[in-house]
Amino acid sequence: MLLLVALAFSPSTTNAYDSDPLQDTCVADLKSKLSVNGYPCKTSPPSAADFVFKGLATPASTNNANGLGAVFGVVQAFPALNTLGLSIARLDFAKGGLVPPHTHPRASELFHVLEGTIYAGFITTDNKLYAATVNKGEVMAFPKGLIHFQVNAGNSTALAFASLSSQSPGFQLVANALLGSGIPDGVLSKTLFVGTNVVDKLKAPFVPKK
Binding residue numbers: 102, 104, 109, 148
Task: Could you list the residues known to form a binding site for oxalate, using ranges.
Answer: 104, 109
What would the DSSP string read from start to end of 60-122?
A: PP--STT-EEEEEE-TTT-GGGTTT--EEEEEEE-TT-EEEEEE-TT--EEEEEEESEEEEEE
Exposed / middle / buried, residue 20 (Cβ in 10 Å: 0-12, 13-18, 19+): exposed
Nearest to 38 by CA among 29, 46, 47: 29
Task: Could you list the residues known to form a binding site for Mn(2+), using ranges.
Answer: 102, 104, 109, 148
Is there a contact between 54 and 88 (Cβ–Cβ < 8 Å)? no
